[in-house]
A = this chain, B = another copy of it.
Amino acid sequence: MQLKTTSHLAEDRYFDPDPGQKKVALELYRSIATLPLVCPHGHVDPRLFAEDDFRFENPAALLIIPDHYIYRMLYSQGISLEDLGIPRQDGGEVESDPRRIWQMFAEHFNLFRGTPTGMWLADEMFGVLGVIEKLTGESAQAVYDQIEAKLQEPQFNPRRLYEQFNIEVLCTTDAATDTLEYHQAIRDSGWQGRILPTFRPDAVVNIDMLSWRQHIDALSDVSGITVRDYATFIQALESRRAFFKEMGATATDHAALSPYTAVLSSPEAEAILQRAFKGDATAQDAMRFTGHMLIEMARMSVEDGLVMQLHPGSYRNHNRVVFERFGLDKGADIPLPTEYTRNLQPLLARFGSEKRFDLILFTLDETTYGRELAPLAGHYPAVKLGPPWWFYDSLEGMRRYFDQVMETAGIYNTAGFNDDTRAFPSIPARHDLWRRAATNWLAGLVVRSIVDMDDALDMAHDLAYGLAKRAYHLD
Measuring CB to CB, which residues of chain A are less than 8 angstroms from any residue of chain B? 4, 6-10, 12-21, 72-73, 75-78, 110-116, 118-119, 134, 315, 318-322, 331-337, 339, 341-342, 345, 348-349, 352-353, 355, 364-367, 370-372, 374-381, 383, 391-392, 394-397, 399-400, 403-404, 406-413, 444-445, 447-452, 454-455, 458-459
Residue of B nearest to A452 (CB): B7
Q: Are B379 and A319 in contact (CB under 8 A)?
A: yes
Complex contacts, A413 vs chain B, CB 8 Å = 76-77
Residue of B nearest to A10 (CB): B449
Residue of B nearest to A446 (CB): B7
User: Please, how many angstroms separate the alpha-carbon atoms of A321 and B347 in the complex?
Assistant: 12
Q: How far, in Å, is A207 (CB) from chain B's closest CB?
A: 21
Complex contacts, A352 vs chain B, CB 8 Å = 319, 321
Instruction: Determine which of B119, B315, B355, B412 lies in contact with A450 in the assembled complex, contact meaning CB atoms within 8 Å.
Output: B119
Q: How far, in Å, is A187 (CB) from chain B's closest CB?
A: 33
Complex contacts, A378 vs chain B, CB 8 Å = 72-73, 76
Q: Are B381 and A335 in contact (CB under 8 A)?
A: no
Q: Are B449 and A381 in contact (CB under 8 A)?
A: no
Q: With A17-B20, A115-B408, A380-B76 in contact, is A450–B353 under 8 Å at CB?
A: no
Q: Are A348 and B318 in contact (CB under 8 A)?
A: yes
Q: Are B341 and A315 in contact (CB under 8 A)?
A: yes
Complex contacts, A315 vs chain B, CB 8 Å = 341-342, 345
Q: How far, in Å, is A150 (CB) from chain B's closest CB?
A: 23
Complex contacts, A407 vs chain B, CB 8 Å = 114-116, 391, 394-397
User: Please, how many angstroms separate the alpha-carbon atoms of A15 and B335 in the complex?
Assistant: 33
Q: Are A412 and B110 in contact (CB under 8 A)?
A: yes
Q: With A13-B449, A370-B391 in contact, is A375–B334 under 8 Å at CB?
A: yes
Q: Are A112 and B334 in contact (CB under 8 A)?
A: no
Q: Are A336 and B331 in contact (CB under 8 A)?
A: no
Q: Are A111 and B13 in contact (CB under 8 A)?
A: no
Residue of B nearest to A12 (CB): B449
5 closest A-B pairs by beta carbon, nearest first, are A13-B449, A320-B349, A17-B447, A10-B449, A394-B407
Residue of B nearest to A448 (CB): B14
User: Please, how many angstroms separate the alpha-carbon atoms of A406 and B392 in the complex?
Assistant: 11
Q: Are A319 and B391 in contact (CB under 8 A)?
A: no
User: Please, how many angstroms separate the alpha-carbon atoms of A392 and B459 in the complex?
Assistant: 22
Q: Are B376 and A406 in contact (CB under 8 A)?
A: no
Q: How far, in Å, is A408 (CB) from chain B's closest CB?
A: 5
Q: How far, in Å, is A45 (CB) from chain B's closest CB?
A: 24
Q: Are B14 and A449 in contact (CB under 8 A)?
A: yes
Complex contacts, A7 vs chain B, CB 8 Å = 449, 452
Residue of B nearest to A68 (CB): B379
Instruction: Determine which of B112, B319, B366, B455 lies in contact with A410 in the assembled complex, contact meaning CB atoms within 8 Å.
Output: B112
Q: How far, in Å, is A347 (CB) from chain B's closest CB?
A: 11
Instruction: Determine which of B72, B342, B412 lies in contact with A111 in the assembled complex, contact meaning CB atoms within 8 Å.
Output: B412
Query: Given contacts A77-B413, A113-B455, could you give 8 more A-B pairs where the C-beta distance is less than 8 Å?
Result: A16-B448, A17-B18, A76-B377, A336-B371, A337-B337, A391-B408, A394-B408, A395-B407
User: Please, how many angstroms separate the alpha-carbon atoms of A331 and B378 in the complex?
Assistant: 9
Q: Are A349 and B321 in contact (CB under 8 A)?
A: yes
Q: How far, in Å, is A121 (CB) from chain B's closest CB?
A: 12
Complex contacts, A406 vs chain B, CB 8 Å = 114-115
Q: How far, in Å, is A452 (CB) from chain B's closest CB?
A: 5
Complex contacts, A334 vs chain B, CB 8 Å = 341, 372, 375-376, 379
Complex contacts, A451 vs chain B, CB 8 Å = 113-114, 118
Residue of B nearest to A321 (CB): B353
Complex contacts, A18 vs chain B, CB 8 Å = 17-18
Complex contacts, A447 vs chain B, CB 8 Å = 17
Q: How far, in Å, is A314 (CB) from chain B's closest CB?
A: 9
Complex contacts, A21 vs chain B, CB 8 Å = 17
Q: With A113-B411, A115-B408, A380-B76 in contact, is A365–B355 under 8 Å at CB?
A: no
Q: Are A371 and B450 in contact (CB under 8 A)?
A: no
Instruction: Determine which of B113, B367, B410 lies in contact with A73 in the assembled complex, contact meaning CB atoms within 8 Å.
Output: B410
User: Please, how many angstroms separate the alpha-carbon atoms of A449 and B17 in the complex?
Assistant: 10
User: Please, how many angstroms separate the alpha-carbon atoms of A142 and B79 in the complex?
Assistant: 60
